[in-house]
Amino acid sequence: MTATGVDDPVLRVDGTEPVSSAAVEALLGICDRAATGTGPLIVYAAGAPRPGWTRSSTSDC
């Protein structure tokens, strides 16, 4: 485990929530911040989409 600083960017992803424009804007902002910083980008991800939120990528073609 690596120690992190107080100002290191942290991204928390709640996988149970659908993607929104606010979530995309937050992601872009934290990526910009991480790209110009010197510390790590810390990511916490949890949850999974509710049934019916996604669809299969397979095809009968």
- In whole angstroms, give the CA distance from residue 58 to residue 30: 33
pLDDT of 41: 85
Full-model pTM: 0.58
- In whole angstroms, give the CA distance from residue 25 to residue 49: 20
pLDDT of 43: 86
pLDDT at 1 over 50: no
- In whole angstroms, give the CA distance from residue 28 to residue 12: 13
- In whole angstroms, give the CA distance from residue 19 to residue 33: 21
Q: What is the pLDDT of residues 2-61, one digit of tens each?
A: 455 677 888 888 888 888 898 888 888 888 888 887 778 888 888 877 777 666 656 554
Residue with structure tokens 């929530």?
17
Specify which residues 43 forms β-bridges with: 11
